[in-house]
Chain A
Amino acid sequence: MTALLRYQAAILLRSHRWIFPLIAYGLLITVGAAGSTSLAETLDWSGAMLVPVVAFLTRAMLTAEPDAARACVAAAAGPARAQLATLIVPLGGGAALGAAAIVFDVLTAEAASKAPGSGLAGKVTAAAGHPGIVAAGLLIALVCLLVGSAAGALCNPPLLRHRAAAMLSTLAAIVVALAAGVSPASAAISHTTAKAADPLAANWPGTGPLAGAACLLAVAWGVSVLAATRRDTWSVSSE
């Protein structure tokens, strides 16, 4: 599995398909940090923006390897494991982005304390004084990471091979994930409005959304892996 992960990660890195999601996420969290009034709100935003970024990062990975190259790898390591590696790599990339965003938020957001110290050190100290806020931000990011990966897996090859249909349904899935009440991501971030009055309160999403996101991810990955092993259509071209 390590060899498969290295291979897929190398494809993602060397194909430069990570650049667009990285830039998009950088812009989104910068805008979010500028528009937020508290650390908790900033963390909420950067977590929520992981949904589109991870969904498109997953799409980038799922369309990076030509079918013929995948066939060689599938013969060598099994089609299920090959597909699993293809899904794990963008999830890991999204996790790295999410972690970087939390560090960025802590360093740049409005201080978590009413009496902030000066400079970056003061902000870090203030955040350390309210570990609940950071922990809640981590949990929200985790939920959104899983939901984004599930959306990417469900709306892209091998389940949806038509390019336009895949792009549009990925977008639609992102909107649903962030707006619909049933979505775990939406449930995790909707606490923002309730708690915005108190900037020092952690927006604790609870474990329900996390369990929901984990189930969603398991189903989405399961369907994607199954489709990869039964592969209905083959072409020699890559997208």
Chain B
Amino acid sequence: MRLEAVGKRYGVRQPWVVRGVSADLRAGQLVRVAGRNGSGKSTLLRVVAGVSRPSAGKVTGRPHAGYVPERFPGGLPFSGREYLLHLARVHGLRGPLARQRAEEWLERLGAAGYADQPLGSMSKGMCQKMAIAQALLPAPGLLVLDEAWTGLDQAARGALDDAVTERVAAGGTVLFVDHDPARLAGREDERWSFDGAGGVTVLAGPAPSAPAPPGAQRRETVTIRLETADSARVIGQVRAIDGARVLSVDVDGPVANRHVVDRPVVDRPVVDKPVVDGNPGA
């Protein structure tokens, strides 16, 4: 999928909200769209999702898209379940598959018990879950999330994180806006940064100094000595533990697998000083 010099403005005499955005979106790419309020993020996301056409430039090769709007007011005269069934058909799902996918996503987002309520009487978070579910129903090749996490409970936020990871792993392209810098931190392939004047800078890789996730300020440094025949494998397993970061590794004996200072890893907490041999440096 490709954006060529895409621009959007709300009327011929109006200023450009976004202008001159060119980018290639590859399969399996996760893109964070960042910028201040009102800088044009939502506008560009709508153009990328195919909700509105650009005023200038063009978007080509768009896969089937799922779009989650910023806010999803319950103004439709349906229950959540009915809405999802309608949207599943609009997405092109047929017969029992539509119902099956709807139930699957209601379950995953923790909304199955509330899905028979009218959309109009649902809480903000529950409405948001319906909007998220409809976008995920068709396993879209392009998923566009405009602050989709806002208003969700902890479990649903985790479920959405997982859904994004799955889409990316399955070769989907995911664009998201979220004002929590820790959201999917370190996993982005690209960051699109809005300068507030309609310009967008495309940066490769995750943010260089992603702030620590909440709760990361309290840390404990633990020294474990263990014996193993395959230190590389064990260290790999320790690194994979969620919430733990390997600060340093010192292997006695053959130096083949010796790692003195570990490289930064995903979800790293703020570290004041490097730690060597398991002794806290500060």
Contact = CB atoms under 8 A, between A and B. Distances in A.
B131 A14 contact: no
Interface stretch (B64-72, B102-110, B261-269): B64-72
Contacts of B10: 232-233
Given A229-B53, A231-B52, A71 B67 contact: yes
Interface residues of A, number: 32
A79 B53 contact: yes
B86 interface: yes
Interface string A46-74: 00000000000000000001101101111
B50 A75 contact: yes
Contact of B65 (A2, A75, A232): A75
A4 B87 CA distance: 9
Interface in A206-221: none
A230 B50 CA distance: 10
B173 to A, nearest CB: 13
Nearest to A10: B86
Nearest to B83: A69
Interface string A196-239: 00000000000000000000000000000000011111101110
Interface stretch (B30-38, B73-81, B190-198, B220-228): B73-81
Nearest to B65: A75
B90 A230 contact: no
B226 to A, nearest CB: 51
A76 B78 contact: no
Interface of B: 10-11, 46, 49-53, 55, 64-73, 75-78, 82, 86-87, 89-92, 131, 134-135, 138, 144
A237 B135 CA distance: 20
20 contacts: A4-B90, A6-B86, A14-B77, A16-B77, A68-B71, A71-B46, A71-B49, A71-B67, A71-B69, A72-B72, A72-B87, A72-B134, A75-B66, A77-B90, A77-B91, A79-B53, A230-B53, A231-B52, A236-B73, A237-B75
A236 B73 CA distance: 7
A78 B134 CA distance: 15
Nearest to B119: A69
Contacts of A229: 52-53
B67 to A, nearest CB: 3
Interface in A1-60: 2-4, 6-7, 10-11, 14-16
Contacts of A230: 52-53, 55
A73 B68 CA distance: 10
Given A65-B75, A234-B46, 15 more contacts: A7-B86, A10-B78, A68-B131, A69-B72, A71-B51, A75-B50, A75-B51, A75-B65, A75-B135, A76-B91, A229-B53, A231-B52, A232-B10, A236-B69, A237-B73
A222 to B, nearest CB: 15
A237 to B, nearest CB: 7
Contact of B87 (A15, A76, A236): A76
Contact of B89 (A3, A14, A79, A233): A3
A90 to B, nearest CB: 16
Nearest to B143: A75
Contacts of B64: 76
A66 B86 contact: no
- Residue of B11, B49, B52, B138 ringed by the most chain A CB atoms within 10 A: B52
A3 B69 contact: no
Contact of A72 (B11, B82, B89, B131): B131
Contacts of B51: 71, 74-75, 79, 231
Given A79-B51, A231-B52, A68 B86 contact: no
A78 B75 contact: no
A79 B11 CA distance: 18
A68 B50 CA distance: 14
Contacts of A16: 77
Contacts of B78: 10-11, 14
A216 B93 CA distance: 35
Q: Which of A2, A75, A234, A238 has the most CB of B within 10 A?
A: A75
A11 B77 contact: yes
A214 B194 CA distance: 46
Contact of B50 (A2, A74, A238): A74
Interface string A119-131: 0000000000000
A236 B89 CA distance: 24
Nearest to A4: B90
B72 A68 contact: yes
Nearest to B8: A230
Contacts of A6: 86, 89
Please give me the 7 A-B residue pairs with the lowest Cβ-Cβ distance, nearest first.
Answer: A75-B67, A3-B89, A14-B77, A66-B75, A238-B75, A68-B69, A231-B52
